[in-house]
Structure 1
Amino acid sequence: MFLQLLATGFLPLSLVLISFFLIKTTSSSKTIKKPSTPIAPTTLPKSYPLVGQIFSILANSHRRIQWFSDLLQISPSATITIHRFFGQRSVVTSNPAVVQHMLKSHFHIYQKGDTFRRTIIDFLGNGIFNSDGENWKFQRQVASHEFNTKSLRNFVENVVDTELSDRLVPILSIASAQNQVLDFQDILQRFAFDNICKIAFGFDPIYLSPSLSQSKFVQAFEDAVKISGDRLATPIPLIWKIKKVLNVGAEKRIRMAISEIHEFAREIIREKKHELREKASLDSVDLLSRFLNSGHSDEVFVTDIIVSFILAGRDTTSAALTWFFWLISKNPRVQSEILKEITENSEATVYDEVKHMVYTHAALCESMRLYPPVPVDAKEAVSDDVLPEGTVVEKGMRVSYHVYAMGRSEQLWGPDWAEFKPERWLEKIAETDKEAAKWNFMGRDPYTYTVFQAGPRICLGKDMAFLQMKRVVAGVLTRFKVVPVPANGEEPEFVAYLTAKMKGGFPVRIEKRDERLQTQLVEKVARFHYP
């Protein structure tokens, strides 16, 4: 019965629409030569009866993030309404007033929503990133308490430094000595994966190893992230739903991937429960132990937490660092300023990284402005509403704030928005009789700079992420130069699933710094200590 309805209903309509789209595209290509660099639109796409703006959406599916960003730049209100099949509408915004409305003042209206949850529930379950209401509040309270403990902060520092000195630096040294080309995005993902597994679960997967061997679990995780992202981005959700019912194509792969992921997570939970029973008198500082010790031992519940933390801890920091190292390779002046900052703080024995690695902090913020690890975040309205700039939102509509577009808005960042310029985050404090001139960090409000979300759902791991990234930056830059291959300055392609990636990886060569300078810098970095 289902297949009969499918054959007599949806498929004929799909064939008509696709044929029309292909004819339209082919006829256009005969008269207009496709430019090597896409031309930014000057008007919003035309909407047709029944199918809305589906033709424009499909035509730009290969550059979806950039296309929506371009549309938002030409919208006077920095908010657009997208028309989809059968009168369905969604809203996309890069307006800080609308973002504040969504994430703070009307937080109770804009939730993850049923559409988002149903789309990725088989991957993230009811974990903190896929839940609303009391379930979300409970997970948030427990996680918030743990993230604010000094013991966890010290544990994170030790884990990151050990992974850096025992694994990352030796691998980069070997690559330098042998003149190897490394995929630095892959290296940073491996580094972040080991870190988050040790921090969150007290488990060391040893994924960053000299052999750079593959892992069934990590490949399964990659597949689940990509296919889940494709589900959310598709203009015709019915297609993936049909594939899921028939268990074919990408939906067959994601089913197998999720099975692998959940089995991996359950094994970790069982081993951790056994470890806690055997060592009941010992304090365990990893997050999984804290959840289990607080009485939350349901396997499904804790599995959802594990998968959510891996997604947050592995993909976001590695994405941020990948683009950061590419940007500083193009901007040697910035790289020199970071190294200068490290040497100038060489006498400090105790310091807070936000206070003393100010320029590095600004450079990381600037990198994430241009290349945010999570470029778009969507909410669903649970009741009717009107946005500050006048857009009417009906119950059930999806409203997204576009982090990527906000970071590239001339209205928000000025005419030099395209420049990688850490100084836009800084002010110079004048020299006095007692101390030399120094930088002071000037943050932006979280509704303009939405990289870490804002309001009640603001990222709990923000400080942890900066701690990890700064240690990696200091540990790598004091020893090596990271040189992109090819070093022609062309911009890699920014792609996004649930999180951002550099399409095709980030091939680099590793060059050792001058031995005397390297020794001097490493000794100075070794004196740094987190309180």
Structure 2
Amino acid sequence: MFISSLLFFILLPLIFIFFKTPKSNPNSPPKSYPIVGHYLSIYANRHRLTQFTSDLVLSSPTLTTVLRRPFGQRRIITADPAVVRHILKTNFSIYQKGDIFRSTLFDVLGNGIFNVDGDDWKFQRQLSSHEFNTKSLRHFVEHVVDVELNDRLIPILAAAAANDSVLDLQDILQRFAFDNICRIAFGYDPVYLTPSLPKAKFAVAFEDGVRISSERFRLVSPLIWKIQRFLNIGSEQRLKEAVTEIRQFAVKILTEKKEELARNPSIQSVDLLSRFLSSGHSDENFVIDIVISFILAGRDTTSAALVWFFWLISRNPAIEAEIVKEIDLKSESLVYDEVKDMVYTHASLCESMRLYPPVPADSKMANADDVLPDGTVVERGVMVSYHPYAMGRVEGLWGKDWAEFRPERWLETDETTTGKLRFVARDPYTYPVFQAGPRICLGKEMAFLQMKRVVAGVLQRFTVVPVAEDGGEPVYVAALTSKMKGGFSVKIRERKE
């Protein structure tokens, strides 16, 4: 492997000289060259890989395509629900995270739940599942999200409205979600969402760690980042620094929790970290990996979903009006019941994530030879990716109006009651925004409750107005989760009665 990689680096300048880097054309497949495969097209589209791979998948008659990487590596990408079901459920035991995924993300995620298979995954999932029962969800909404909303988020938005100032709503929502996940999962309040908007070292380190780790997947060969890491140069030097800062933060949370439990062994703490410590796992690195994984899940996904949601409704005032009408009707209910029963808002969030999923693509590695339902041959060791971003744009799944933001596609009239609207969920293999099968997201309901409470709290009082100069669509960028490039600059207006 080393010799072949070395030869590639020697030949790479010649390849770029003799072969013109191709331009992206969604109507024709990229050209594959000897040795490098499709790498020239991948490189040319490195700043828009989600859209590039989506175009390739959607132009395939089977909704499945194969990207050839250097040295004969193949990556299969699909938007076919039958294939998604095959890899996430039917043949779940064959399609695992695998060595490539695990080694690439290990520096940041370690042995956390998102980076392991087998017994380690089963144990973490089983213990984590207790955190998502009805009692815990009600507590989360009424005592964590609602307090964070009313005591921190709303005052910041009100001050911005009074001062006519510009906020980066993406940053604000990430702070909000970070405080929430730390409080519910670890019993720790980082107080990250405050009027001064402190630039915490951990937040910067976490952003850099996730970004650099995900960029490793795009390199010609993993040997590149491994050499850089060994020499401690380039982006790997920054990654090492970021990981140190991330783990120091996690150690602080862990130490405080251990001290709390030591002072009061009989404490009836229900947070996730206490459950793991009480389970007998004293390995500090193992518990820290769990802490980091849940920060990633709780901070980045819900905030990403809300950012694109607020942008979409700003462009669709009629939909915003329907959401506000529903909020007003439910405002007399208890907080938990209010958000649980917000059908139109729930449909609007699903529709937003159809177009802009927080995780645009996910990959599994085949640990045995296989054949996909569409006839694609999969050799052992090949990565197979399913593509929620592309799947939300398949006309055969969503109709000719797939490009429209239309919450009504998730609703129907319930004839058995008083004609009220009823939410109609899509098959999870058609809409795998929360994964599907045995690894379906444990926090799905918690995420919806949090997002609906934020939407209700914000839109009942304010209107969110983007301040982008060109008024066009923001740039959707993705690492492990999606972001709006450059943030989401908005002004906040008090809603008129």
Calculate the TM-score normalised by the size of structure 2: 0.96
AA aligned to 1:473 is V
Classify the secondary structure of the residue corresponding to 1:292.
helix
* Counterpart-to-counterpart distance in 1, 2:160 and 2:246: 31
Offset, 1:232: 2.1
Are 2:389 and 1:404 equivalent residues in the alignment?
A: yes
Structure 1 residue ranges, 4+ long, deviating more than 6 angstroms after superposition: none
Q: Which runs of 5+ in 1 are unaligned?
A: 29-33, 518-531
Are 2:12 and 1:17 equivalent residues in the alignment?
A: yes
Are 2:402 and 1:417 equivalent residues in the alignment?
A: yes
Give CA deviations for 1:284-326 in whole Å, capped at 9, x if unaligned.
Answer: 1221112212322321111010000000000000000000000
Is the Cα–Cα contact under 8 Å of residues 75 and 383 in structure 2 kept in the other structure? yes
Is the Cα–Cα contact under 8 Å of residues 375 and 496 in structure 1 kept in the other structure? yes
Alignment equivalent of 1:145, drawn from 130, 135, 141: 130
Give CA deviations for 1:153-175 in whole Å, capped at 9, x if unaligned.
Answer: 41343100000000000111111
Is the Cα–Cα contact under 8 Å of residues 141 and 336 in structure 2 kept in the other structure? no
Is the Cα–Cα contact under 8 Å of residues 363 and 384 in structure 2 kept in the other structure? yes
Offset, 1:235: 3.8
Offset, 1:242: 1.8
Q: Which runs of 5+ in 2 are unaligned?
A: none
Structure ID, larger Rg: 1
Q: Tell me how many residue pairs correspond in the alignment.
A: 497
Are 2:424 and 1:442 equivalent residues in the alignment?
A: yes
AA aligned to 2:454 is V
Shift in alpha-carbon separation, 1:349–1:499, aligned structure 2, 3 A: closer
Give CA deviations for 1:99-146 in whole Å, capped at 9, x if unaligned.
Answer: 000000000000000110011111101110000011111111111123
Partner in structure 2 of residue 77 of structure 1: 62
Offset, 1:268: 1.1
Partner in structure 1 of residue 39 of structure 2: 54
Is the Cα–Cα contact under 8 Å of residues 156 and 199 in structure 1 kept in the other structure? no
Offset, 1:24: 4.0
Are 2:174 and 1:189 equivalent residues in the alignment?
A: yes
* Counterpart-to-counterpart distance in 2, 1:156 and 1:273: 26
Is the Cα–Cα contact under 8 Å of residues 157 and 468 in structure 1 kept in the other structure? no
Q: How do residues 229-308 of structure 1 correspond to structure 2 at under 5 angstroms? A: 229-308=214-293
Alignment equivalent of 1:314, drawn from 270, 282, 299: 299
Partner in structure 1 of residue 192 of structure 2: 207
* Counterpart-to-counterpart distance in 2, 1:149 and 1:355: 11
Give CA deviations for 1:485-524 in whole Å, capped at 9, x if unaligned.
Answer: 126530000000011000000000011112xx3xxxxxxx
Partner in structure 1 of residue 72 of structure 2: 87
Classify the secondary structure of the residue corresponding to 1:379.
strand
Partner in structure 1 of residue 456 of structure 2: 474
Is the Cα–Cα contact under 8 Å of residues 131 and 270 in structure 2 kept in the other structure? no
* Counterpart-to-counterpart distance in 2, 1:205 and 1:95: 42
* Counterpart-to-counterpart distance in 1, 2:298 and 2:217: 21
Aligned CA RMSD, in angstroms, stands at 2.0
* Counterpart-to-counterpart distance in 2, 1:12 and 1:385: 32
Are 2:467 and 1:485 equivalent residues in the alignment?
A: yes
Offset, 1:20: 3.0
Is the Cα–Cα contact under 8 Å of residues 187 and 271 in structure 2 kept in the other structure? yes
* Counterpart-to-counterpart distance in 2, 1:42 and 1:363: 31
Identity %: 64
After the TM superposition, which of the residue ranges 450-459 and 335-344 deviates more from structure 2? 335-344
Are 2:438 and 1:456 equivalent residues in the alignment?
A: yes
Calculate the TM-score normalised by the size of structure 1: 0.90
Classify the secondary structure of the residue corresponding to 1:66.
helix
Partner in structure 2 of residue 161 of structure 1: 146
